[in-house]
Amino acid sequence: MIREQVITELYHQADELNWELLPASEKKRQYQKWIEDSRVGGVLREFFDDHRMGTWIKDTPMKEYARAQEGFGSTAKYVRSRFPGPEVLIGQALGPEWIVVPNSVDDKPMHCLAATRESTRYVCWGRPNTFRDLIWAALNKAITMSERPLVIVTEQDGISVSANERATQAAIAEHCGLDLTHIHRRLQRT
C-alpha cells in the first residue's frame, strides 16, 4: 500500500514536470525535492535514510517511468499519461492493413511483430536517445526474418530529431538493411 501510494505520487508529479523532457541537472534537484516532500520522503523515511531513499526513487519507480508510459512493467498502472498502444503506432507507420501479431509485444526495446495476410515483420520503437539500441535489436532480427525490420524513432512535443540527425539515422539504417521512420506521438491521459 505504501509503495503504491508513493509511486502514484511520484508519477503524478513527474507527469506535471514533463519528466522525460527535464535535463539531468533538473532531475537531480527533483530527487532531493522528493526526499524532502512529505508525500514521498515523509512516507518513506520510516524505511530508508535519505541516501537510500534517493537511490530507491531513482533506480526503482523513476527508472521504470518511460516504460510505464508505454504500458509496460509493474508500475504502468500508476502513470497518469500513456502513449497510444502499438496498434496505433503500427497503423501510423505501416498502414491500416497491418496488425500487431497477438502476444508479440514486448520491451527492451519496445517491439512487436506486425503482419498482413502476406507478410510479417519485426518492428521496434523508442525515443531518439535509444537509436543505437533500436538498430542493434533490429539487426539481430534481420538475420532470421525475410522482411526488413522497421525501426521507428518516436518523437513527442519537446523531443525531436534534427534534419542532420535524421539524415545520419537514415544512412545508418540503409547501410544496415533496415527500414526507418520517425513518428510524432502524444501522451494521453489514462
Identify the H or E element spanning 115.
strand 110-115
Residues 104 and 53 in one domain: no
137: domain CATH number?
A: 3.40.1350
pLDDT, average across residues 169-175: 98
Query: What's the mean pLDDT when you consider all of the chain?
Result: 95
Residue 11: predicted pLDDT: 97
pLDDT, average across residues 15-39: 95
Q: For residue 150, what is its C-alpha cell?
A: 522497421
Q: Tell me how far apart the alpha carbons of residues 123 and 148 are, in angstroms, rounded to a whole number.
A: 9
Residue 178: predicted pLDDT: 98
What is the 8-class DSSP label of residue 147?
Answer: S
Q: What is the pTM of this model?
A: 0.89
Q: Tell me how far apart the alpha carbons of residues 138 and 155 are, in angstroms, rounded to a whole number.
A: 19
The CA distances from residue 170 to 99, 116, 131, 163, 166, in Å, are 25, 25, 11, 10, 6
Residues 97 and 38 in one domain: no
The β-bridge partners of 122 are: 113
Residues 144 and 184 in one domain: yes
Structural domain span for residue 25: 2-82
Residues 98 and 115 in one domain: yes
Q: pLDDT band at 126, cuts 50/70/90?
A: very high
Residues 64 and 137 in one domain: no
Peptide bond into 109 cis (omega under 30): yes
Overall domain count for the chain: 2
Residue 158: predicted pLDDT: 82
Q: Tell me how far apart the alpha carbons of residues 139 and 109 are, in angstroms, rounded to a whole number.
A: 13
Residues 72 and 91 in one domain: no
What pLDDT, in 10s, does the model give residues 92-108? 999 999 999 999 999 99
Residue 115: predicted pLDDT: 98
What pLDDT, in 10s, does the model give residues 30-88? 999 999 999 999 999 999 999 999 999 999 999 999 999 999 999 999 999 999 999 99
pLDDT, average across residues 109-132: 96
Residue 153: predicted pLDDT: 98
Is the predicted pLDDT of residue 160 greater than 90, yes or no? no
Residues 60 and 92 in one domain: no
Q: Tell me how far apart the alpha carbons of residues 137 and 158 are, in angstroms, rounded to a whole number.
A: 25
